[in-house]
Amino acid sequence: MMEAQKYVWEGAIPLQIHLHESEVTTLPPPLPALILAPRIGYLPLLIPHIKPHFNSTLPPGVDTVWFEYKGLPLKWYIPTGVLFDLLCVEPERPWNLTVHFRGYPGNILIPCEGEDSVKWSFINSLKEASYIINGNCKNVMNMSQPDQVELWHSVFNGNLEAYLKVSSKLKLGTAGHEYSANLNSGSFVSRQSTGDTDATGQVKTGRVPVRLYVWGVSEDFDDLEDAPQIDSWDKISYINRPVEIHGEEGKCFTLLDAVKSLLPEHFQYKSLTNEESSKEEGEDEQKVPSEEGGENLSEDVESCYPSDNAEVKLVRIQGIEPKLEIPFSWVVHNLMNPEHFLHICVCLKVSQVKIPSDG
């Protein structure tokens, strides 16, 4: 068990949850509910804990619970920690949310039937991750019912030990797992320079399930408190595609490399030899088609140059802002969520704010 992974599972966000004023039927109005929300959890799983606090003041009707932050309805299938990292550029503690038990915004949020909806959303994401990593999702599809129940209960209860025991049967190890094991046996300098190799000394490759949440800003800012507020999901580009790790002997595939590979619209790569380095930068770039129909780096890329229309202002994963030169494999192994996706929040300064999205 990695120490960083343990910290991720123990991570929690203090919430102060207010009942929307339109649903208050008593005087004085109820005090806000205070609760610690697990980072790897989901907001609907908090409902059994907060409803008793507000039950006596609710208007008659059927519960259709949803949460909002500063008027923005929160997507329930995004992990709570990701929502916090994305929407609170300047972290707010406690995080002040508003809960509604009526008037579900079906034009913005997909329906949620409580824990069952969250569970099946989680399982479907796990299947998707399995397909990306192994090329099929048979291991997830063939899970026994007791194992499936145990897996979900381990996530629901934040029990990392139980999770590792049952999830190991799925054989969803990525290049990051094997690489991180190698990191423990060498110095930081050596692991920066050697890359991930197998028993024959060949550099490993891998496909890493990633969900990238990108918001673009057109004006620069130096302090996080000056960053513009996200008040609409239209301002967020959601990119759901794998990172292709193409290891090269003597090179380290970094977090910045991964982010740029997911945003080919803003970051262009060039492969230069010594003879080509003196030529004009306007020459064609070496790219290879990916399964998604986009473009990925050719494995012999030696140098990369960002395009002029984008600058990475912020990268946040699991509440931290890692250095962009950190080995991506370490990030994958230590900071991924239980459904085997790595959720990355990125702020880009761009000349044109609209960023293509996968949905």
Q: What is the pLDDT of residues 291-323, one digit of tens each?
A: 333 333 333 333 334 444 689 999 999 999 999
Return the bridge partners of 246, or none: 205
Compute the distance between CA of residue 284 and CA of residue 279 in angstroms, rounded to an integer: 11
Instruction: Please give the single-letter amino acid code of residue 243.
Output: V
Would you say 344 and 212 are in contact if contact means Cβ atoms under 8 Å apart?
A: yes
216 or 194, greater pLDDT: 216
Please compute the mean of the pLDDT values over residues 326-344 and round it to a whole number: 95
Judged against a pLDDT cut of 50, whether residue 194 lies above it is answered with no
| Cα–Cα dist 76/285, whole Å | 40
Average pLDDT value over all residues in the chain: 82
Q: What is the mean pLDDT of residues 236-252?
A: 85
Structure confidence by residue, pLDDT tens digits, 63-109: 999 999 999 999 999 999 999 999 998 889 999 999 999 999 999 99
Q: Residue 180, CB half-sphere, CA atoms under 13 Å: how many?
A: 19
What is the identity of the amino acid at 138?
A: K
What are the φ and ψ backbone dihedral angles of 342, each rounded to 5 degrees? Answer: -95, 120
Cβ neighbours for 201, distance < 8 A, ≥ 6 positions apart: none
Q: Give yes or no for residue 197 having a pLDDT over 60.
A: no
125, pLDDT greater than 60: yes
Taking the C-alpha atoms of residue 49 and residue 103, their distance in angstroms, rounded to an integer, is 21
Of residues 335 and 246, more confidence is placed in 335
Residue 217 pairs with which residues in a beta bridge? Answer: 349
Give the pLDDT confidence of 132-187 residue by residue, as tens digits.
999 999 999 999 999 999 999 999 999 999 999 999 999 887 544 444 444 443 33
Percentage of the chain lying above the pLDDT 70 cut: 76
H or E, element range at 188: helix 188-194
Calculate ∠ Cα 358-248-208, nearest 5°: 30
Specify the pLDDT at position 99. 98
pLDDT at 345 over 80: yes
What CA–CA distance (Å, rounded) separates 86 from 235?
11
Looking at residue 206, what is its pLDDT? Answer: 83
Tens digit of each residue's pLDDT (9 = 90 or more) over 253-272: 999 999 999 998 888 754 33
For residue 33, give Cα distances in angstroms to 18, 55, 66, 166: 7, 12, 15, 34
Q: Tell me what pLDDT residue 212 has.
A: 98
Measured CA to CA, the distance from residue 337 to residue 8 in angstroms comes to 8
> Which residues are 98's β-sheet partners?
18, 68
Buried b (16+ CB within 10 A) or exposed e, 124-140: ebbbbbbbbbbeebebb
197 CB-contact burial (10 Å; exposed 0-12 / middle 13-18 / buried 19+): middle
User: DSSP state, 346?
Assistant: E
Q: How far apart are CA 137 and CA 327, in angstroms?
A: 27
Provide the 3-class DSSP secondary structure of residue 78: coil
Going along the chain from its start, the domains and CATH numbers come out as: 2-109 (3.10.20.620), 116-173 (1.10.246.190), 207-268+306-350 (3.10.20.90)
**Residue given tokens 């239980």 in the structure block:** 338
* 306: helix, strand or coil: coil
Q: pLDDT tier at 350 (50, 70, 90 boundaries)?
A: confident
pLDDT of residue 136: 94
Q: What percent of the chain has pLDDT over 90?
A: 65
Half-sphere exposure of 43 (CA within 13 A, CB side): 25
Q: Is 2's pLDDT higher than 80? A: no
